[in-house]
Structure 1
Amino acid sequence: MSSPAGTVVRRALGWHPPLMVLSALMVVMAGGCAVGVAVDPQVLVGAPIWLKPFKFAVSIAVYSVSWAWLLSRMGPANRRRAGLLATGLVGLFTLEYVIIVGQVLRGQLSHFNETTPFNASLFGLMGTSIVVIWVGTLVLSVMLLSERVGDRATTRAVQLGALLSVLGAGLGALMVGPTAAQRAAMANGTFDGVMGAHSVGAPDGGPVMPITGWNLDVGDLRVPHFFGLHALQALPLILLALTLLGRRFPLLADVDVRARLVWVAAGGYLAVIGLLVWQAERGQSVAQPDSLTLAALACIVVAVGVVAAVTLRRQPARAVLT
């Protein structure tokens, strides 16, 4: 007789086998890269050389599990087409990750690296694959809009989270263009072959945050990219918190109330993404917000609080009595 844990694992593997196998491989790679970060002293652009493949492995694993579950909740009309598309994305993710690890083994940058024709071709291949992945994820997200993956609140949380995630992924394009310093170097003949950057206000490198690798001194475009990219997980977690609070506060036990609050949370989340882009583009580190950034954040918090309060006050009497 199989154990409950074994049953859960088999059921999860059946959501979308290619995505789940990719997720399992990424978990293994994340563990191996974590060991690499701990024991390999090599540093590349101010960060441990194995940190980037570690972060990508975690992110791909989370993406794979999330979309495997969502595909399993789709109706037959969309599930087959979405499954075929997702299988293609698995191949592209695998290609992307192989290039990242391969460049680490060579001691080379995987992103922005045009120092040699070979490095430039690898970066171009990665750029093409990530654009196709973005378009594929957008198509999956649009397909998700016609699906009901749970109650009304759950459906809204995953649909809005998916759309915000696509937006966050698209913010990666902000890092690809040449910086002002790189344009100047191309003009005067001192270009070193690195095209694009994570940081705004200084070259990549310098002091960075543990684990994330975000720049502690200047703006870093990876911050809004990360925050937006993982909206697909964040909004359902916010909904989970509202659901748990519903055990204590009867008003939140009503699914329509939670669905409306998910819209409010999504609006606030979008505003924070915009704030983080603005902060990074001003060359300001997320670890050193100035008074203007803090004031803008306070306005977002107050606005979300006010809209949430108005939303709750306007609920019908049946919600209060639920």
Structure 2
Amino acid sequence: MAALAVVAAAGLIVDDRVVLGAPVWFKPFKFAVSFAAYGLTLAWMLSRRPVPGRLGAGAAHVVVVSGLIEMAVITGQAVRGRRSHFNIETPLDQGLFVAMGLTIVALWTATLVIAVLLFRARLGDRATTWAIRLGVLIALAGLLLGGLMLMPTPEQQADGLRTAVGAHSVGVPDGGPAMPVTGWNTTGGDLRIPHFVGMHALQALPLFLYGIEALAGRFARLRDARVRLRLVLVAAGFLTGLLALVTWQALRGQALIHPDPATLTALAALATATGLTTYAALRRRPAPAAHDLPAASPTTTPSLATESPA
């Protein structure tokens, strides 16, 4: 996938063809990068298990094969100058799109098997274990939300589903004005956004924990294992709420960068809840009463004997 990303990047430079308003090599590039990150993350998570097994290896191989088939179709359609997703214009296009759908089902099922295995194993301390477990669960939800894109639009139904079935955009046609880099629609809803947010929780939660541990040398409170666990749970709650919010926004045909008052209110509520729970997670425990302190040993200095462990 990393090698394919380089090839697709070169295609973006030398090939000026456009499909639905986007460079023809843009989708292969994005998907190659995404699959590379997905594969690396799952491989790292599986390596955390103390006792590797055949089931985990088999599920990993299914992910690899599914990704290869998916990218073969996407890249092949780019070479042909055709859209890969939702395209049923010809028997070949329809067959390739159906093949992609089957590979995604296989990938999701294999990821579910990996999630079950991760829930049955201790993957490190409690914060690390739950960062991995919850990241996989949210990623499974994000993958599943991709199925919303398969719903025919009113225009496609009126057309008799002759050329396409499903779309990224809600309320506007695919291929309109888009955000740079991501390509997300700027005039209507875009179901790729919740798909992206959910899938990349797989990386976000472990990276968040890594950031906490990197700061632990400067902030003593973060050296407490219970605090790190609570912060991971808060981050997982935030990502789950954000996933629900951007899904709701997209389904209402609303662009990410043009939120209405209802969306802004929900976002403010989510931010407030996250801030309050973060404060609660970081709040210093009260110092123990004097009778709870351990008795000083004969060799202990008075200052250390009376120092609060808090």
Shared fold, TM over 0.5: yes
How far is the alpha carbon of 1:59 from its aligned partner?
0.6
- The answer to whether the Cα contact below 8 Å between 1:216 and 1:287 also exists between their aligned partners in 2 is yes
Who is 1:164 aligned against?
138
Aligned residue number for residue 56 of structure 1: 31
Aligned twin of 1:6:
none
> Where does residue 226 of structure 2 map in the other structure?
256
Amino acid in structure 2 at the alignment position of 1:272: L
- 2:235 is matched with 265
Equivalent of residue 134 in structure 1, options 108, 124, 143? 108
Counterpart code for 1:243? E
Partner of 2:9: 34
Cα deviation, residue 136, structure 1: 0.8
CA contact (8 A) 1:168 1:228 kept: yes
RMSD: 1.7
Q: State which of 57, 60, 85 in structure 2 corresponds to 1:83.
A: 57
Structure 1 unaligned blocks of 5 or more: 1-25
State the one-letter code of the partner of 1:54. Answer: F
Determine if the alignment matches structure 1 residue 47 to structure 2 residue 17.
no
**Residue aligned with 1:66, SS:** helix
Gaps of 5+ in 2: 289-307
Cα deviation, residue 243, structure 1: 1.9
Letter in 2 for 1:313: R
Q: Which amino acid aligns with 2:210?
A: L
Alignment partner of 1:115 is 2:89: yes
CA offset digits 1:41-100 (Å, max 9, x no partner): 111111111010001100110011111112222132x53320122112211211111111
User: CA offsets, 1:259-300, max 9 Å, x none?
Assistant: 011111101110000000011111111122222212211110
Q: Which has the higher helix share?
A: 1
| 1:294 aligns to 2:264 (yes or no) | yes
- Percent identity reads 49
Q: Which structure would you say has the larger Rg?
A: 2
Which of 200, 204, 207 lines up with 1:234 in the alignment?
Answer: 204
- Of 59, 69, 80 in structure 2, the residue corresponding to residue 106 of structure 1 is 80
Q: Distance in 1 between matches of 2:247 and 2:285?
A: 34
Post-superposition offset of 1:317:
4.9
CA distance in 1, matches of 2:218, 2:240: 28
Of stretches 171-180 and 309-318 in structure 1, the one that deviates more from structure 2 is 309-318
Partner residue, 1:70: 45
Give the TM-score, by structure 1 length: 0.86
The answer for the alignment partner of 2:277 in structure 1 is 307
Q: How far off its partner does 1:312 sit?
A: 3.0
Assess, with a 3 A threshold, how the Cα gap between structure 1 residues 278 and 98 changes in structure 2: closer, same or farther: same
| Residue pair 2:50, 2:123 contacting (<8 A) in 1 also | no
1:52 is paired with a residue whose SS is helix
Matched positions, count: 291
Q: Taking structure 2 as the reference length, what is the TM-score of the superposition?
A: 0.89
Q: Distance in 1 between matches of 2:116 and 2:93?
A: 35
218-227 or 143-152, larger mean C-alpha shift: 143-152
The letter for the 1-side match of 2:28 is P
Shift of residue 39, structure 1, vs aligned partner: 2.4
Q: Which residue of 1 aligns with 2:297?
A: none
> Given the superposition, is the C-alpha separation of residues 32 and 247 from structure 1 closer, same or farther in structure 2, using an over 3 Å criterion?
same
The CA distance in 2 between the partners of 1:242 and 1:71, in whole Å, is 22
Q: Is the 8 A contact 2:62 2:106 kept in 1?
A: no
For 1:315 and 1:181, locate their aligned partners in 2 and report how far apart those are by CA, in whole Å: 59
